[in-house]
């Protein structure tokens, strides 16, 4: 694991939840937003774990030879409030083998990604698409967006200056990486809005690195949604949203979780230790005490212990350098296939540089 960022503050003891007290609206909100995750599937799992099934959410799951595809439709305002994810469609592609450099599997994932993106994009074959690569290219776990943009087959300039080079079945595709506020001094959403106003695409695709709650989903999951994206939300640094209401055109978001926060890892480790104690030392007082608290309360206690010490870091696996290169190619290849109807997998392998 690598520790990629942290926050320091005044040291203070953690605030223990009061037992026997009815949960307030603030408690309910905290339970829905913690632990931190950008994945709708995890937010739904946490909401169900905290109470019961959430009405207003439709889910289906397909197993496709090592690729698990979960589709979720958040239909109601109440469901949106419960899981703290916008109303809309979410597709989660889970591929544990994506961490291994299996080229055949990577091609199948790219093909699956292309098929899912096509379902989200209801545009004509001659429509224009703008791909936005969000993130900081100088920070490896956050470099997914810029690296995908570097590998796309862009065609807008070819249609403008060499129209006879491309035949039918290729769309007008443009792409750029706006950088991050700390580098440019400009809100990312303002840059994107300005380019959309000038280029006038029929749709926008935003690609970004995400934060997960589960270590199992880091570097093995791709999420697609039609609700847009809020840069920095996964690490608690929310910026203005990039979505259809702000841009005026359909916006599809694609993300891959590359980090998880230290409080989540510490909480999982404590749970494993306590589970071992429950099996080997019946009636252990430490495990019985910890069992009184909900998962959200446990996470809150651990977070309040770590953050004042500057130890609630965002953590990424040590293999992130190799993985980010591989997954950038997978996502770029999937987008190339989705955006250009005439492109075959052989073409994608040749053109995805």
User: In the 8-state DSSP scheme, what is residue 215?
Assistant: G
From CA 282, how far away is CA 75, in angstroms rounded?
45
Identify the helix (H) or strand (E) that includes residue 175: strand 172-176
The residues facing 233 across adjacent strands are none
pLDDT along the chain (353 residues), means of 10: 45 40 40 68 88 87 94 95 93 94 94 97 92 94 96 93 86 95 90 96 96 89 94 59 94 95 74 70 64 69 66 79 94 97 94 80
pLDDT given for residue 11 in this prediction: 36
Identify the pLDDT of residue 147: 97
pLDDT of residue 264: 75
Q: What CA–CA distance (Å, rounded) separates 215 from 213?
A: 7
Position 215 scores a pLDDT of: 84
d(CA 38, CA 16): 26
* DSSP output for 272-336: HHHHHHHHHSTT-HHHHHHTTS-HHHHHHHHHHHHGGGT---EEE-TTHHHHHHHHHHHHHHHHH
Give strand pairing partners of 353: none
The answer to whether the CB of 204 falls within 8 A of the CB of 192 is yes
Res 28: pLDDT: 41
Q: Write out the two tokens for 233.
A: 């939300």
* Stated pTM of the model: 0.81
- 336-to-63, 172, 174 alpha-carbon distances in Å: 24, 11, 12
What DSSP letter does each residue of 223-260 carry, written as one string? EEESS-B-TTGGGT-----BSHHHHSS-EEEEEEEEEE
Output the six-digit token pair for 44. Answer: 């739904």
> Where is 181: in which H helix or E strand?
helix 181-184
* Residue position matching structure tokens 């994945």: 39
pLDDT value of residue 238? 59
Cβ–Cβ < 8 Å for 142, 135? yes
Place of tokens 């359909």: 250
In this prediction, residue 262 carries a pLDDT of: 76
Domain spans of the chain, in order of start: 29-264+311-340
Residue 224 and residue 90 in contact, taking contact as beta carbons nearer than 8 Å: yes
In angstroms, the CA 222 to CA 327 distance is: 9
User: What is the pLDDT at residue 51?
Assistant: 73
The span from the CA of 42 to the CA of 29, in Å, is: 16
pLDDT at 282: 67
What is the Cα–Cα distance from 243 to 190, expressed in whole angstroms? 12
Q: Pick from 105, 151, 114: which is nearest to 342 by CA?
A: 114
72: left (phi over 0), alpha (psi -120 to 50) or beta: beta
User: How many Å apart are CA 166 and CA 184, to the nearest integer?
Assistant: 35
φ, ψ (nearest 5 deg) of residue 234: -65, -25
CATH class in words for 29-264+311-340: alpha beta
């Amino acid at each position: 694991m690598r520790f990629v960022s942290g926050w320091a503050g005044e040291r203070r003891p953690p605030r223990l939840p009061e037992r026997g007290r009815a949960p307030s609206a603030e408690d309910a909100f905290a339970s829905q937003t913690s632990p931190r995750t950008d994945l709708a599937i995890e937010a739904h799992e946490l909401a169900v774990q905290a109470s019961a099934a959430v009405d207003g959410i439709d889910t289906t799951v397909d197993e496709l030879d090592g690729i698990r595809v979960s589709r979720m439709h958040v239909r109601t305002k109440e469901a949106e409030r419960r899981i703290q994810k916008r109303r809309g469609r979410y597709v989660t592609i889970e591929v544990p083998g994506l961490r291994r450099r299996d080229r055949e599997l990577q091609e199948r994932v790219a093909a699956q990604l292309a098929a899912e993106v096509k379902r989200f994009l209801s545009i004509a074959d001659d429509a224009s698409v703008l791909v936005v690569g969000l993130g900081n290219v100088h920070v490896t776990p956050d470099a997914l967006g810029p690296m995908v943009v570097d590998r796309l087959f862009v065609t807008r300039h070819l249609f403008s200056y060499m129209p006879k080079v491309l035949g039918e079945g290729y769309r007008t595709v443009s792409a750029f990486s706006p950088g991050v506020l700390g580098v440019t001094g400009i809100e990312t959403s303002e840059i994107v809005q300005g380019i959309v106003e000038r280029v006038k695409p029929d749709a926008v695709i935003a690609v970004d690195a995400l934060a997960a709650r589960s270590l199992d989903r880091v570097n093995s999951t791709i999420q697609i949604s039609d609700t847009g994206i809020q840069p920095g939300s996964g690490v608690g640094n929310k910026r203005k949203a990039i979505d259809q209401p702000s841009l005026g055109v359909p916006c599809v978001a694609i993300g891959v979780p590359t980090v998880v926060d230290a409080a989540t890892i510490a909480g999982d480790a404590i749970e494993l230790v306590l589970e071992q104690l429950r099996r080997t030392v019946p009636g252990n007082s430490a495990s019985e005490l910890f069992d009184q608290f909900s998962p959200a309360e446990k996470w809150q206690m651990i977070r309040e212990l770590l953050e004042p010490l500057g130890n609630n870091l965002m953590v990424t696996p040590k293999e992130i350098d190799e993985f980010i290169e591989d997954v950038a190619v997978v996502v770029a290849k999937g987008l190339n296939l989705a955006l250009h109807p005439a492109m075959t997998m052989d073409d994608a392998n040749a053109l995805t540089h």
